């Protein structure tokens, strides 16, 4: 027996079908109503209700079965400094999805996204050569540096450099430890940056290190700020943007809750109907 769908679902599909590929329509519907349409089920539904998409067979260029265009843009806007694990949490919280860390790791790899997070070994890691004596080939000692040798490209502690993204870094320790200058300045006034937070430039100017221009935000807030283009060229306006971002998150959270409640009621109604 064919499954019955509510009029609301029927109207949603009918409204969104024109010009929309079937697989995209499936994603839209399942995300909106928590349904479980498959390609076969959706094709049958469209045929039974005489609804046409008007699209050709196959997927459009750049189409992804797993990620909507909005989510792909969200990742592109926020991947710097955010690894797959944290990105998974951000996306699921922002869009109410259930992606896994493995899926995001694969996405980063396929799309060559470098978060900039270092791959340093964690505390407790045992190196492969622990306990082994130094090994070298005869004659290579001729190329060794003498004790106390300083490389020509050595930079003293306190030196500054500009990254390819326009951020200023300061060398804080030898041999090669660097930190973002704006983070250092913020911490001098406020203490360590809390976990899951970042410091942004209120006016968007990466060379304005005035403490009043440095604003602490959570990763989730930063995602909303980027998503809605709320970082302005004025620090006070950006602070207002943060308030707006928090409101957007609250509204989205409330909306997801209402949808979940609506879905539960619908399923209960369907269950009661079948029992009768």
Kindly state whether residue 84 falls inside one of the protein's structural domains.
yes
Number of structural domains the chain divides into: 3
What phi and psi, each to the nearest 5 degrees, are found at residue 267?
-65, -40
Residue 244, C-beta contacts closer than 8 angstroms, at least 6 positions apart: 228, 230
Residues 41 and 82 reside in one and the same domain:
no
Is the residue at 61 inside a domain? Answer: yes
In a domain, 156, yes or no: no
pTM for this entry: 0.47
Instruction: Report yes or no on 127 lying in a domain.
Output: no
**Measured distance CA(123)–CA(241) in Å, rounded:** 39
Please check whether residues 186 and 226 belong to one and the same domain: yes
Do 186 and 229 fall into the same domain? yes
Residue 65's pLDDT is what?
56
Say whether both 61 and 87 belong to one domain.
Answer: no
Residue 246 lies in a domain: yes
Q: Are residues 15 and 29 in the same domain?
A: yes
> Is 169 inside a domain boundary?
no
In the prediction, which pLDDT does 182 show?
95
Q: Are residues 57 and 81 in the same domain?
A: no
In a domain, 261, yes or no: no
DSSP 182: H
Q: Is the C-alpha dihedral spanning 221, 227, 233, 237 positive or negative?
A: negative
Q: Does 72 lie in the same domain as 52? A: no
Same domain, 71 and 52: no
Tell whether the torsion through CA atoms of 207, 213, 218 and 221 is positive or negative: negative
Tens-level pLDDT at each residue, the chain (276 residues): 456 788 888 888 888 888 777 877 887 787 777 788 888 888 899 999 898 877 655 555 444 557 777 788 888 878 888 888 888 888 887 777 778 888 888 888 887 788 776 544 445 555 545 565 555 544 455 555 556 656 667 788 889 988 888 889 999 888 788 899 999 999 999 999 998 899 999 999 999 999 999 999 998 898 889 888 899 999 999 999 999 999 988 888 888 777 777 777 777 777 766 665
Instruction: Evaluate whether residue 186 is within a structural domain.
Output: yes
Residues of the domain holding 106: 67-115
Q: Are residues 50 and 105 in the same domain?
A: no
**Euclidean distance between CA atoms 237 and 157, whole angstroms:** 36
């Amino acid at each position: 027996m064919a499954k019955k769908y509510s009029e609301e679902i029927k109207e949603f599909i009918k409204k969104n079908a024109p010009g929309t590929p079937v697989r995209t329509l499936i994603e839209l519907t399942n995300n909106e109503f928590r349904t479980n349409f498959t390609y076969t089920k959706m094709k049958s539904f469209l045929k039974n209700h005489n609804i046409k998409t008007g699209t050709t067979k196959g997927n459009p260029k750049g189409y992804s079965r797993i990620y909507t265009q909005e989510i792909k843009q969200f990742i592109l806007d926020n991947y710097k400094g955010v690894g797959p694990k944290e990105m998974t949490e951000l996306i699921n919280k922002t869009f109410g999805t259930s992606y896994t860390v493995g899926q995001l790791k694969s996405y980063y790899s396929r799309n060559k996204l470098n978060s900039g997070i270092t791959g340093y070994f964690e505390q407790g890691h045992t190196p492969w050569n622990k306990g082994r004596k130094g090994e070298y080939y005869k004659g290579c000692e001729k190329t060794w540096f003498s004790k106390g040798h300083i490389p020509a490209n050595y930079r003293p502690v306190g030196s500054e450099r500009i990254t390819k993204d326009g951020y200023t870094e300061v060398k804080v320790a030898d041999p090669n430890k660097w930190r973002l200058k704006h983070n250092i300045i913020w911490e001098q006034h406020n203490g360590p940056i809390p976990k899951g937070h970042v410091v942004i430039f209120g006016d968007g100017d990466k060379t304005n290190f005035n403490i009043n221009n440095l604003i602490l935000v959570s990763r989730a807030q930063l995602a909303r700020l980027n998503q809605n283009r709320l970082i302005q060229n004025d620090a006070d306006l950006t602070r207002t943007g943060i308030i707006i971002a928090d409101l957007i998150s609250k509204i989205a959270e409330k909306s997801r809750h209402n949808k979940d409640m609506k879905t539960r009621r619908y399923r209960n109604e369907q269950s009661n109907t079948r029992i009768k």
